[in-house]
Amino acid sequence: MIMDETNMRIVVKLFATLVRFKDGSRAGRPFEVDLPDGSAVKDLIDLLKIPPQETHVVFINNIIEGPDSQLKDGDVVGLFPPVGGG
């Protein structure tokens, strides 16, 4: 994707079972993704070809958000499948 004024750059981290959607990725290792301005989390999930039902908890800059949340340039996004324990 060519970077121009209408694009933004997002830092993405995948965790647990979602790691398999990025070749050579490891849990929590950040990588960059360029998206058109105005994109939401769900567009990022689409671009990464992650089935939406597999993404259970989304963080933007350490705050829990939803799939419809708008992204902006420089945001750090963490994507988690269902996780839990105790």
Shorter beta-carbon distance to another protein: residue 21 or 59: 59
Q: Which of 20, 35, 82, 75 is nearest to 55 (CA)?
A: 82
Q: Which of 39, 48, 52 is nearest to 9 (CA)?
A: 39
Shorter beta-carbon distance to another protein: residue 3 or 84: 84
Shortest separation between residue 47's beta carbon and another protein, angstroms: 20
Residues in the site for another protein, rule: CB under 8 A? 13, 15-17, 19, 26-29, 54, 56-57, 59, 62-64, 66, 78, 80-86
- Residue 44 near residue 77, CB atoms below 8 Å: yes
